[in-house]
Chain A
Amino acid sequence: MAKHKTPLLDQLESGPWPSFVSDIKQEAEARAKNEKGLDYQIPVDCPEDLLGVLELSFTDGETHWKHGGIVGVFGYGGGVIGRYCDQPEMFPGVAHFHTVRVAQPAGKFYTTKFLRELCDLWDLRGSGLTNMHGSTGDIVLLGTQTPQLEEIFFELTHNMNNDLGGSGSNLRTPAACMGMSRCEYACYDSQELCYNLTMEYQDELHRPAFPYKFKFKFDACANGCVAALARSDMAFVGTWKGDIRIDQGAVAAYVGGEFAPNAGAHSGRDWGKFDIVKEVVELCPSKCISYEGGKLAINNKECVRCMHCINTMPRALRIGEETGTSILCGAKAPILDGPQMGSLLVPFVEVNKDDDYQAIKDIIEGVWDWWMEEGKNRERLGETMKRLGFAALAEAAGVPVDVRMVQEPRHNPYIFWKADEVEGGWDRDINEYRERHLR
């Protein structure tokens, strides 16, 4: 017997898509039955009260969580999002409903052993509800009470060898695409770089020391499966120099209809026979592909490595062999001064595990030193870049200015020069000027 009536939420149990309402209800039932005989450390009916408060929000169209909430574990300045219900008497099960962010493995591969241990921990000490996963990548344990936070952290670190993720004005939890583990487009090991930098900068992740939040994301190619250049202050997007590898036999197989274009991604509709000229040659943004006499040719010098031809004929075309990553900076959501995508700072840098990615770390630390000094309170890197100029970022990062950094040169002539760039400097005598130009 449900604790609260939820006529509105009940309507979200129908329809084909997995119903979060049905799932929360099944968790409520499982806790009520308690077949394992657990001594639940927060109220058994926590999921019931969550449905109750959510139904109230569906009825009156407003959230019922109080503003903010500052909780955590000793030693860290972030990792837990505190939350309190604004109707604690009606819904005591969610009077406290804090979220714990748990660091996830790069690429989000799991063993069932790990997940079951996590479920056992959360079953006892939390609501039994999660988000798999938060947008930044964390495993999100959704809903517990303050006294449980240290207990959860102790078990997580001692028994599961796993840490919390990030929150607050610090390095947030980095995330990667699945990279080399299951993709032939991967230009570098995005998971390993993600892991390495996560470990290198644990202090910056757990103890807020920045003007505002800062995110890393790692895409192993320009397809952007983890959306690095839209959703991270510093985006690492794999690329290559040199030629796309062409297998002419496989090209013929595509033209002959033996292989489906785009690996079969459009097979739900009849788009006609594959037309290599129309679907590949003419769609190339650089128009640097030709197909003559049954042979595909690419003028690689003019290629911008957009991935279209490779995506369309993955069995015939492969990424180049000299691989690395581009680095783009400044992506953010609109608040405060408008959304930004990452802007290209480093066209190409080797991803070299042998020297522990030193070239990449030098760039990161150059950018951080500058932003930590110059960035205003709650100013994202992208906004500092807008305020102080892109050239200042490049200088901080120790990256030589390159025409590849701009989409186009400026069209206004409001150009700054430094005094020492100009012959004779800026110290001038008006009297000397008047000797040539009378008043």
Chain B
Amino acid sequence: MAFISSGYNPEKPMENRITDIGPQHFTEFLPPVIEKNFGKWVYHEILEPGVLMHAAESGDEVYTVRAGTARLMSVTMIREICDIADKYCGGYLRFTTRNNIEFMVETKDEALALKKFLNEQKFGQGSYKFPVGGTGAGVSNIVHTQGWVHCHTPATDASGTVKATMDAVFDQFTDMKLPAPVRIAMACCLNMCGAVHCSDIAILGVHRKPPMIDHKYLDNLCEIPLAVASCPTGAIRPSKVEIEGTQYKTVAIKEERCMFCGNCYTMCPSLPLSDSQGDGVAIMVGGKISNRITKPAFSKVVVPFLPNNTPRWPEMTDVIKRILTAYSEGANKYERLGDWANRIGWERFFEVCDLEFSEHLIDDFRDPAYYTWRQTTQFKW
């Protein structure tokens, strides 16, 4: 391959450099009906799964068809999306905050025709390219992270766990039969990029072994004080070791204080900890972000560990389906998963979901842990 210059001159790197121009203004991209009725919408309806209608003061209506995506997508796929938007939507489209695509048209007939068309598009191996859904009281797309596709600190994969989960709960994406929306999120380590800490159900990559220490290289590659300061439990201290007669500045890790968060590895490449047997996923539930009825809430850990059983994580999808089924059967209309668990009590939640409760689920992190224990005689047998 021959290098093709863009016009950038590496001899004069600062010449003709354009900086600080930011994104383009969003009004450059609004469909005409959106631009015309901006800020003047009066109500909306969900006509059927994946199809919304918004009505404006002017009497104008816009119909939105929402379709799932894998988030990780090729330019071939984006061009196919563009072809659809050119054919049906005047060359406009948008993406949602959960990485679905939305196509907007101006009549109901066009919307239903578009839904039908989208649901007919499949990959050669059979999966839908643009399954329509993700609206109302169902399961929408899974907010997720990089996993083994791009990141250096994951304890599991993102795209793989998400595909396995969405296949398992697919009928909830294309329907609206739950008590309230269920947000599922995924993060491949406990940096929790994304929404794991505030979702109805969350998949979290976790380690279970302390880091290995690459003593000979550590001082050359790491700022030791940063590695020491990176530890939430104070398990790391500066240290010296002698290997084959040579003294090295390094760190020592108190293994009984380490809870495998991996933050020291983030700061120091000489402290890797990934491990095929140690690593896996934890399941959290009961978080929410909206202020509707109840306040926003963090998700809580209900399964401390499940193995990375690639490629489909069957233990993980089994737990998620069990939780979803128990919630669907037990919760009241409008009740989010966490609100349901709070109402019936967590002892009942574990019973109806058939989950094992272990010591790993009792908070032991600093002062606030106390507030998660039960300071009352109110409990159910």
Residues on B with beta carbons closer than 8 Å to the beta carbon of A163: 19-23
CA distance A223 to B24 in the complex (A): 26
Question: Would you call A8 and B310 a contact (CB within 8 A)?
Answer: yes
Residues on B with beta carbons closer than 8 Å to the beta carbon of A103: 22-23
Residues on A with beta carbons closer than 8 Å to the beta carbon of B147: 63
A131 at the interface (CB under 8 A from B): yes
For B254-278 the 0/1 string (1 means CB < 8 A from A) is 0000000101010001001011110
- Known A104-B23, A135-B145, A335-B191; judge A227-B289 contact (CB<8 A): yes
Question: Would you call B79 and A18 a contact (CB within 8 A)?
Answer: no
Residues on B with beta carbons closer than 8 Å to the beta carbon of A231: 194-195, 198
Stretch with Cβ within 8 A of B (4 or more), from A122-130, A359-367, A392-400: A122-130
- Known A115-B82, A157-B21, A163-B21; judge A377-B229 contact (CB<8 A): yes
For B1-19 the 0/1 string (1 means CB < 8 A from A) is 1111111101001101111
Please name the residue on chain B nearest to A335 by beta carbon. B263
Residues on A with beta carbons closer than 8 Å to the beta carbon of B334: 262, 279, 283, 308, 312
B162 CB to nearest A CB, Å: 8
- Known A18-B127, A162-B21; judge A106-B26 contact (CB<8 A): yes
Residues on A with beta carbons closer than 8 Å to the beta carbon of B8: 150-151, 153-154
CA distance A57 to B157 in the complex (A): 9
A289 at the interface (CB under 8 A from B): no
Residues on A with beta carbons closer than 8 Å to the beta carbon of B145: 135
CA distance A21 to B127 in the complex (A): 10
Partner of B197, one of A16, A76, A307, A339: A339
Partner of A112, one of B69, B91, B196: B91
Residues on B with beta carbons closer than 8 Å to the beta carbon of A62: 274-276, 279
Question: Would you call A75 and B17 a contact (CB within 8 A)?
Answer: yes
Residues on A with beta carbons closer than 8 Å to the beta carbon of B198: 227, 230-231, 341
B333 at the interface (CB under 8 A from A): yes
B94 at the interface (CB under 8 A from A): yes
Question: Would you call A184 and B75 a contact (CB within 8 A)?
Answer: no
B226 CB to nearest A CB, Å: 7
For A111-146 the 0/1 string (1 means CB < 8 A from B) is 111111011001110001111110100000011000
A416 at the interface (CB under 8 A from B): no
Residues on A with beta carbons closer than 8 Å to the beta carbon of B130: 18
Give the interface residue-count category, chain A: 35 or more
B56 CB to nearest A CB, Å: 9
* 8 A Cβ contacts from B316-371 to A: 333-334, 365-366, 368
Question: Would you call A223 and B292 a contact (CB within 8 A)?
Answer: yes
* 8 A Cβ contacts from B144-183 to A: 145, 147-154, 157, 159-160, 163-164, 166-167, 170, 173, 175-179, 181
CA distance A308 to B164 in the complex (A): 33
CA distance A357 to B76 in the complex (A): 41
Question: Would you call A113 and B124 a contact (CB within 8 A)?
Answer: no
CA distance A268 to B196 in the complex (A): 27
Question: Would you call A39 and B18 a contact (CB within 8 A)?
Answer: no
Question: Would you call B293 and A283 a contact (CB within 8 A)?
Answer: yes
B175 CB to nearest A CB, Å: 4
Question: Would you call A67 and B265 a contact (CB within 8 A)?
Answer: yes
Partner of B290, one of A20, A75, A180, A223: A223
Question: Would you call B166 and A181 a contact (CB within 8 A)?
Answer: no
Residues on A with beta carbons closer than 8 Å to the beta carbon of B43: 184, 263, 314-315
* 8 A Cβ contacts from B86-125 to A: 86, 91-97, 99, 104, 123-125
Residues on B with beta carbons closer than 8 Å to the beta carbon of A133: 71, 95, 99
Question: Would you call B164 and A12 a contact (CB within 8 A)?
Answer: yes
Residues on B with beta carbons closer than 8 Å to the beta carbon of A63: 147-148, 151-154, 274
A203 at the interface (CB under 8 A from B): yes
Partner of A184, one of B13, B44, B49: B44
- Known A109-B92, A271-B333; judge A74-B69 contact (CB<8 A): no
A22 at the interface (CB under 8 A from B): yes
A233 at the interface (CB under 8 A from B): no
Question: Would you call A57 and B97 a contact (CB within 8 A)?
Answer: no
Residues on A with beta carbons closer than 8 Å to the beta carbon of B68: 17-18
Please name the residue on chain B nearest to A310 by beta carbon. B292
B305 CB to nearest A CB, Å: 14
Partner of A14, one of B126, B232, B291: B126
Question: Would you call B19 and A157 a contact (CB within 8 A)?
Answer: yes
CA distance A230 to B143 in the complex (A): 14
Question: Would you call A181 and B293 a contact (CB within 8 A)?
Answer: no
Stretch with Cβ within 8 A of B (4 or more), from A191-199, A292-300, A425-433: A191-199
* 8 A Cβ contacts from A383-411 to B: none
B241 at the interface (CB under 8 A from A): no
Residues on A with beta carbons closer than 8 Å to the beta carbon of B31: 109
Partner of A307, one of B49, B75, B160, B292: B292
Residue in A21, A114, A147 whose Cβ sees the most chain B Cβ within 10 Å: A21
CA distance A59 to B157 in the complex (A): 12
- Known A30-B76, A178-B94, A307-B291; judge A268-B311 contact (CB<8 A): no
Question: Would you call B4 and A306 a contact (CB within 8 A)?
Answer: no
A334 at the interface (CB under 8 A from B): yes
Partner of B92, one of A111, A178, A318, A336: A111
Residues on B with beta carbons closer than 8 Å to the beta carbon of A128: 74-76
Residues on A with beta carbons closer than 8 Å to the beta carbon of B192: 333-335, 339
Question: Would you call B99 and A132 a contact (CB within 8 A)?
Answer: yes
CA distance A54 to B151 in the complex (A): 11
Question: Would you call A17 and B167 a contact (CB within 8 A)?
Answer: yes
B78 at the interface (CB under 8 A from A): yes
Residues on B with beta carbons closer than 8 Å to the beta carbon of A47: 74
- Known A17-B131, A336-B263; judge A263-B279 contact (CB<8 A): no
Residues on A with beta carbons closer than 8 Å to the beta carbon of B49: 268
CA distance A285 to B334 in the complex (A): 13
Please name the residue on chain B nearest to A199 by beta carbon. B22
CA distance A83 to B193 in the complex (A): 17
CA distance A65 to B157 in the complex (A): 13
A274 CB to nearest B CB, Å: 10
Residues on B with beta carbons closer than 8 Å to the beta carbon of A67: 152, 265, 269, 272
Question: Would you call A15 and B195 a contact (CB within 8 A)?
Answer: no
For B193-219 the 0/1 string (1 means CB < 8 A from A) is 111111000000000000000000000
Beyond the given A105-B29, A315-B42, A335-B192, please list 8 additional residue pairs across the A-B interface where CB-CB is below 8 A. Answer: A67-B272, A128-B76, A132-B95, A135-B145, A182-B104, A198-B23, A206-B20, A267-B46
Chain A residues in contact with chain B, CB under 8 A? 8-9, 11-24, 26-27, 30, 39-41, 47, 50, 53-54, 57-68, 74-76, 81, 83, 97, 99, 103-116, 118-119, 122-124, 128-133, 135, 142-143, 147, 150-155, 157-158, 161-163, 175, 177-178, 180-184, 186, 189, 191, 195, 198-199, 202-203, 205-206, 222-227, 229-231, 260, 262-269, 271, 279, 283-285, 304-308, 311-312, 314-315, 318, 333-339, 341, 377-378
A-B pairs with lowest CB-CB distance, top 7? A61-B276, A265-B136, A15-B167, A268-B177, A27-B74, A67-B269, A103-B23
